[in-house]
Structure 1
């Protein structure tokens, strides 16, 4: 018995030392990636709470304050919003602490790179405390987070534009025939994918026997934008690239698909309504993946700069898991489904197109990253 107790204590001590060493190594190499890891953990935690925390929330009196039976969907969204608020407060506090830090000589820089065990404890405590606040606080945060999520969608588009332009420039600078062929292959594949996918959208979301003019308009606009991108990029007075235009075209087609797939289950023009649960889950996973990738990329690109691209917390993860609907509304059990989601995503597609066309003219004097930093200043 005594041996077993000693062995357990030794194992626990080794585990703690190993965790501390790992956290210290991560902080030395890149605190930015560690912060992104916390952000990704918050996404996973939000998803798990949404799926499994409803019975627990029903037992908390200051959350379940209703005289009537509230649907499970309300508790699911409430759980997501509380995790999101705790995560937002954690990153907001550290962002405020870093205001004015110019270089590593500032004493506060050590707070940014070190103390990861304490930071994780604070992160956990803040999330737990959010389950102790009254519902009115969560309602206010829900309204504010919708505006923050819309802003993050635009930032995500900027990250894509920055990435594709850097990708294109890096291959052109190699000045070798194999890289020119690679650019051509990527361009052709992207455009073929765009038009083939658009054809599938006509099949899925314009079923015969129904008046689906709105869906046809959305899909047609996506095809027109793809042609417009190529024409503008090839204009002699524009410093553009057809490869970049093709990548943006694919992304716009993807946004059009996610928008149409978010149409209500009972909408006759949604040809995927029989597979609505699978489509909703796949859209959620893709949305979470793109969110994490954009945050990681912004962390690597923006680094320790004090611009608005530095990645604290994104309220979009609340909105991804609540479908941009209100916790007080009578929503379906599906994630990311509803007309609000449809219009948010289709407007994001159009904003992407407008921003891309606008930046084509600006690339004569600056790259996309510098343009965006100037916008944020």
Structure 2
């Protein structure tokens, strides 16, 4: 998409800023569904905000902020009438992330409220959803600028709890997407192996399964070595042991004969992937390393966000939850205008293919997750003006890992418990 944008003329793109989302492609990219491109552009807004947040938290940025008169404690110059109460060595970067993510959260929450009840592209609000990108960008910039004028006070403390709750909900959505991805991956590769009689597909499934289990087992060993002590760290021992036992349980259940009867595509590949992710969440909950933790977290976050933007699941239940189009695999017809330029296909005249409101709510939660991840889930201390590690963050992550395991287990046993219901 970046290459396509680079080939577009500035004049053409300028004329598209107030138009529909696909117009941003300026006709030099293949035709695509209106709904897909809109989600990609909104996701780009989120990724842009993430990039700015990362820049703001870099150590070099703190050095530059020290040069601003009257901003940092111990600065070289002071603005008369303003007291220096901020310890820039500890809180400046985090404070910037809180404000940037606050702006993104408000931006997406605003659109989530506005888009409630949109049924098709004939609704006037659909034009707002799929167009007016220049003005949307201005709104985001305006909210961001205003966020940096919010007085410190209790803002960071209150917003921390918003971030913790929102991140918990977002992690659950991530787990649903991860489980859906694992099931879809296994189903496609098994079907390819059975249809083509090519053993390479089975070899691929076996290789990834062994790899994921090996990484998960290695993680458990390292956890016991580096995060426990013989006479201490009882909580860590409980966390590691419980999740290890739970991972073994879901692995055994996934290959039980009765489960295989009602879930022919169930297998160890999904269980191994869920086990590996569970170990990642366990490590993320135990560790306090501010230099490494959020890199892996953001990689998973970026994958899940893009997957949610362009996905077409083959799982009916997931489609009902996420309110996305079914994965029919139908090709998009070319829509060429009189000027010979490719246009996007408005595939929502009869009905929207995804919930506009829920999509923005998902990005709203993603903004909170970015904030908590970049700040290492540290809690502001209003008395010392520092960011401190907090046990609520540990319990949020651990409980989310247990809920994720429970959700995956439910996808295995639900068809067996309710045989009359459609879980295709």
TM-score w.r.t. length of structure 1? 0.77
Match in the other structure for 1:224: 245
Structure 1 residue 38: deviation in Å? 0.8
Q: How does 1:150-165 map to 2 (within 5 A)?
A: 150-165=168-183
Kindly indicate which of the two structures has a greater share of residues assigned to helix.
1
| 2:220 corresponds to 1:201 | no
| 2:404 corresponds to 1:352 | yes
Structure 1 residue 331: deviation in Å? 8.0
Could you tell me how far apart the structure 1 residues matched to 2:24 and 2:305 are?
A: 21
* Residue 91 (structure 2) aligned to one of 74, 93, 97: 74
Count how many residue pairs are aligned between Structure 1 and Structure 2: 333
* Residue 281 (structure 2) aligned to one of 232, 255, 267: 255
Q: 1:59 to 1:16 in 2, by over 3 A?
A: farther
* Residue 341 (structure 1) aligned to one of 389, 393, 396: 393
Match in the other structure for 2:42: 35
Match in the other structure for 2:413: 361
Q: Does the Cα contact within 8 Å between 2:243 and 2:278 map onto a contact in 1?
A: yes
Task: Using CA pairs under 8 Å that are at least 6 residues apart, name the structure with larger relative contact order, 1 or 2.
Answer: 2
Q: How does 1:10-89 map to 2 (within 5 A)?
A: 15=10, 17-18=12-13, 24-26=23-25, 30-51=37-58, 52=61, 54-55=65-66, 56=68, 59=71, 69-72=85-88, 73-89=90-106
Match in the other structure for 1:5: none
Structure 1 residue 78: deviation in Å? 2.4
Q: Does the Cα contact within 8 Å between 1:194 and 1:253 map onto a contact in 2?
A: yes
Q: Secondary structure at the match of 1:206?
A: coil
Give the RMSD, CA atoms, in angstroms: 3.1
Gaps of 5+ in 1: 1-13, 263-275, 371-377
Gaps of 5+ in 2: 1-8, 27-33, 73-80, 312-321, 325-352
Q: 1:331 to 1:289 in 2, by over 3 A?
A: farther
Q: Secondary structure at the match of 1:327?
A: strand
| 2:136 corresponds to 1:119 | yes
Structure 1 residue 128: deviation in Å? 0.8
* Residue 129 (structure 1) aligned to one of 146, 166, 169: 146
Q: 1:20 to 1:254 in 2, by over 3 A?
A: farther
Q: 1:143 to 1:213 in 2, by over 3 A?
A: closer
Match in the other structure for 1:318: 371
TM-score w.r.t. length of structure 2? 0.69
